Amino acid sequence: MWEKVKDITRGHSLWMLYYCTGCGAIELPPTMTSRFDMERFGIGPMATPRQADILLVTGYLSTKTLRRVIYTYEQMQSPKWLVGFGSCTLNGGIYHDSYATINQLDQYLPVDLYLAGCMPRPEVIIKGFKQLMEMIKTGEADGWKQYQDNREWYRENQKKALGDLLYTTR
């Protein structure tokens, strides 16, 4: 019963990591500032992954960014949620035949909610976040538990796509 109260309060104050990983990030500042205000729902931007709840993957991921996103996702404290923004996270989108971008985000990290479009409007982001809040209250959004249970499967897929998981500094 205590879990249900915690789920309700978690759903009302989500902090989003402000990390612009791809071209969908151009619609994030209009969502956060005064026209389509996101802070009235309790969602605000946060600078470090240690204190954030949501990781928003905005668009495509090149292999160089995927290494850093896996590193960031594993640094966040659970419970944590991941939202795939844009059609490129679903099936590769317009860059499906490019040698540098991945085609399906589901294989490397667990995704709780997808927002399709190229690119989605700010109203779609707010509607998606409201749906995520409902899913948190009912307990449906448990991607982080699946990542802990099936860790070997995710690791094997990540190694197949990237080769070497630690990023090499020059």
Partner 1 sequence: MLQKDFIAKIKQEFGLDPAHIKAVAEKKLAVTVDSGEALSFLIYLKNIDFIQLSLITAVDWIDENRFELVYTLVSWEKNLTVSVSTFIPRDNPVIVSVRHIWPTAKYYEWDINEFFGIIFSGHPEMGNPLFLEGWSEKPPMRKDFDPQAYSYERFPSRKYDYKVENKGRVIE
Partner 2 sequence: MKEVKLFHGPNHPGMHGNFSVHLTVDGDTVVSARPNPGMLHRGFEKLMERRSWIQNIALIPRICVPEPDINEAVYSMGVEALAGMEIPERAKYIRVIVLEIARIMIHLMSIGGIGGPTGLYTAPNWGIADRDLFLDIFEKLTGHRVYHMYIVPGGVRQDIPADLLKEIEEKLDDLEKRLVEYRELIFDHPILHKRLKGMAPLPKELALDWGITGIGIRSNGFDYDVRKYDPYLVYDKLSFDVPVCDESDAYSRLLLKFREIPQSMRIIRQAIADMPAGKVRIKLPGNALKWKVPKGAVYSRLESSRGEYGYYMVSNGGLTPYRVHVRGASYPQSLYGVEAGLPGTRLEDVAVWLDTMGVCAPEFDR
Write phi, then psi, for 41 (nearest 5 degrees): -95, 0
Selection from partner 1, partner 2, none that 169 binds (CB < 5 to 8 A by kind) is: partner 2
Beta carbons of 143 and 134 less than 8 angstroms apart: no
Give the nearer residue to partner 2 in terms of CB position, either 62 or 107: 62
Q: Is the peptide bond before 79 cis (omega within 30 degrees of 0)?
A: yes
CA–CA separation, 17 and 34 (whole Å): 19
Selection from partner 2, partner 1, none that 168 binds (CB < 5 to 8 A by kind) is: partner 1
Q: Report if residue 40 touches partner 2, rule: CB under 8 A.
A: no
Q: Find the part of the chain contacting partner 2 (CB under 8 A) among 3-11, 95-103, 107-115, 154-162.
A: 95-103
Tokens read off for 155: 């690791």
Q: Report if residue 17 touches partner 2, rule: CB under 8 A.
A: yes
Within 100-142, residue ranges assigned H as helices are: 122-138
CA atoms 39, 77, 25, 143: torsion sign: negative
Shortest distance in whole angstroms from residue 81 CB to partner 1: 21
Question: Collapsing DSSP states into helix, strand and coil, what is residue 44?
Answer: strand
Selection from partner 2, partner 1, none that 26 binds (CB < 5 to 8 A by kind) is: partner 2
Q: Find the part of the chain contacting partner 1 (CB under 8 A) among 47-55, 84-92, 109-117, 143-151.
A: 84-92
Angle formed by the axes of helices 151-162 and 63-75, to 10°? 150
Shortest distance in whole angstroms from residue 33 CB to partner 2: 5
Under the rule (CB under 8 A), what is the footprint of partner 2? 17-23, 25-27, 29-30, 33-35, 47, 49, 60, 62, 64-65, 68, 72, 94-95, 97-101, 118-119, 121, 169-170
